[in-house]
Amino acid sequence: MDQMTVDSRHWQSGLTRVPYWVYQDPDLPALEQQRIFEGPVWNFLCLETEIANPGDWRTTFIGSMPVVVARTADGAIAAFENRCAHRGALICLDNGGSGAKDFQCVYHAWRYDLCGNLASVAFRHGVNGKGGMPPDFRLDAHGPRRLRTATLCGLVFGTLTAGTPPLEDWLGGPIVAKINRVLGGRQPEIIGRFTQALPNNWKLYAENVKDTYHASLLHLFFATFRINRLSLGGGVTVSESGGHHASATRMPTEAVDTSYQGMRSVDDGFRLADPSMLETRPEFGDDIQLQILALFPCFVLQQIRNCIAVRQVTPRGLQATDLDWIFLGFTDDTPELRTLRLKQCNLVGPAGYVSMEDGCVGGFVQRGIAAAAGADSVVEMGGDVAGSQDTRATEAAVRGFWKQWRATMGI
């Protein structure tokens, strides 16, 4: 890599070219942390159901920053940096818990309330009249950074920037409606979760989720059983900012043929042993079989038939990413629908019938561009705009991601 600063690196005008240095420059992670994750965006933190009662708490990340989210005694939601104001150790070491009255750092026992306020300091007044903190030491002058929080349809978001617009304004009405379609008016229950390690920069996964036409080409399961074809109806909704999108695929008018031999299938005997995997129970009042929704920078809400999940993307350095999956059911699920949801969880994830290829293709790109920092990717499918279209044969949402990335980064 050359010695140019990030802000002055080349980038062609328009939205149809993305330079490969954006996945490689070692100066970018720190700049993204400052300008994006700690900037004027809403970051997904957790589900309300994870902190349903006072004293419930979860740990999470916004970019590289560790965060604690807690339900306070009065029922409010508080979020603060998971960093002791004394020597910088983590305040909370576990993923979550319940019944907490306060939090105490294990290193020197500095104690914080559920809002992140410093409540006490061990040996603050010394021992036997010796030592201790200075007389003018004030508890309220020390503490981790605190976030503003907001909720929507059971999702909890946080921002560190006072000027970030209200959550629904930041998302825009069309995207809020797409979230409401899946989660609105229902009480979710967590039915499974795991973390998937990806061998690539976080932005390659963000692009992949917004790439609305690769599924029928990359994913063999879709091709084999004719589940996701661009000839089916649907399209993509892109927010005005470009950063948020929702793609939709309609149900096929014909029944799924589980004996169909796809374009890449070489085994003439290939069949689904359990065709019920591809059943669909109506629950959304429409004929959308698949909706993938992504919010800038790092949140995904999926509906693949009756498989509902949220995904959180966490950068782990320049060329590593954690992808956290939380699978959802709802309190009003029938036993049959819950069984189907659990079965369809096998469609996605690192070994998922549908999406296992997504876990490696970002790594293929990361390896392929190793010596191409001065070259660009071509993002022209569907034109040069970053707006909604009534087709999935487009890269409009990918262009939208880079539109918002550049605006937020000031590049």
- pLDDT at res. 265: 46
Residue 219's pLDDT is: 74
Q: How far apart are CA 215 and CA 345, in angstroms?
A: 17
Residues 130 and 208 in one domain: no
Of the pLDDT bands very low, low, confident and very high (cuts 50, 70, 90), residue 267 is low
**pLDDT tens-digit map of 359-392:** 899 999 999 999 999 999 999 999 999 999 998 8
Domain for residue 166, yes or no?
no
State the SS3 of 148-209.
EEEEECCEEEEECCCCCCCHHHHHCHHHHHHHHHHHCCCCEEEEEEEEEEECCCHHHHHHHH
| 250 shares its domain with 388 | yes
Could you write out the three-class secondary structure of 94-110?
Answer: CCEECCCCCEECCCCCC
Give residue 259's pLDDT.
Answer: 43
Q: Does a structural domain hold residue 133?
A: yes
pTM above 0.85, yes or no: yes
Q: Tell me the mean pLDDT in the region 123-151.
A: 96
Q: Contact at 8 Å (CB) between 390 and 235?
A: yes
Q: How far apart are CA 172 and CA 241, in angstroms?
A: 9
Residue 284 and residue 251 share a domain: yes
Mean pLDDT, rounded, for 130-153: 97
Count CB-CB contacts under 10 A for residue 239: 25
Across the chain, mean pLDDT equals 91
β-strands 118-120, 111-112 pairing = antiparallel
The residues, ordered by sequence, that sit 6+ positions from 88 with a Cβ below 8 Å of its Cβ are: none
Predicted pLDDT at 335: 97
Q: Find the domain containing 103 and state its range.
A: 47-151
Residue with more model confidence, 10 or 189: 189
Query: Of the candidates 183, 149, 146, 186, which has an alpha carbon nearest to the alpha carbon of residue 167?
Result: 149
Instruction: Give the model's pLDDT for residue 163.
Output: 94
Q: What is the DSSP letter of 326?
A: E
Which residue reads 């419930």 in tokens? 56
In a domain, residue 157? The reply is: no
Q: How many domains does the chain have?
A: 2
* Half-sphere CA count of 344, side-chain side, radius 13 A: 25
User: Which tens digits make up the pLDDT trace of 183-241?
Assistant: 999 999 999 999 999 999 999 999 999 998 877 777 777 766 666 665 666 799 999 99
Q: Can you tell me the distance from the alpha carbon of 218 to that of 231, in angstroms, rounded to the nearest whole number?
A: 16
**pLDDT score for 12:** 83
User: Is the dihedral angle over the CA atoms 157, 163, 169, 175 positive or is it negative?
Assistant: negative
pLDDT of residue 263: 42
Whether 363 is covered by a domain: the verdict is yes
pLDDT in tens, 283-306: 999 989 999 999 999 999 999 999
Specify the pLDDT at position 228: 63
- CATH number of the domain residue 134 falls in: 2.102.10.10
Identify whether residues 127 and 191 lie together within a single domain: no
Domain co-membership, 179 together with 56: no
- Cα distances (Å, whole numbers) of residue 30 to 40, 64, 68: 16, 9, 21
* pLDDT, tens only, 85-103: 999 999 999 999 999 999 9
Residue 1: the pLDDT is 38
CA distance 115 to 80: 7
Which residues are paired to 307 by β-bridges? 304
CATH of residue 190's domain is 3.90.380.10
The torsion of the CA quartet 40, 41, 47, 53, rounded to 10 degrees, works out to 10
Residues 244 and 360 in one domain: yes
**Residue 38: inside a domain, yes or no?**
no
Is 97 a domain residue?
Answer: yes
Cis previous bond, 188, omega within 30: no
Tell me: do 230 and 356 sit in the same domain: yes
Same domain, 240 and 352: yes
Say yes or no: 140 and 208 in one domain: no
Q: What angle do CA 25, 31, 34 make, to 5 degrees?
A: 160
333 belongs to a structural domain? yes
Q: How far apart are the C-alpha atoms of 272 and 188, rounded to whole Å?
A: 30
Q: Are 409 and 403 in contact, with CB atoms under 8 Å apart?
A: no
- 73 and 190, same domain (yes or no): no
Residue 88 forms part of a structural domain: yes
Alpha carbon separation from 105 to 80, 91, 146 (Å, rounded): 14, 5, 17
Residue 104 sits in the same domain as residue 197: no
pLDDT reported for residue 229: 61
3-state SS assignment for residue 147: strand
Q: What is the pLDDT of residues 24-53, one digit of tens each?
A: 999 999 999 999 999 999 999 999 999 999
The yes-or-no verdict on residue 406 having pLDDT over 80 is yes
Co-location of 331 and 366 in the same domain: yes
Q: What pLDDT score does 260 carry?
A: 39
* Alpha-carbon distances, residue 231 vs 237, 245, 290, 391 (angstroms): 18, 20, 14, 9
* Helix, strand or coil, per DSSP, at residue 19: strand
Last residue of a domain, one of 151, 182, 211: 151
Q: Which of 117, 151, 185 is the last residue of a domain?
A: 151
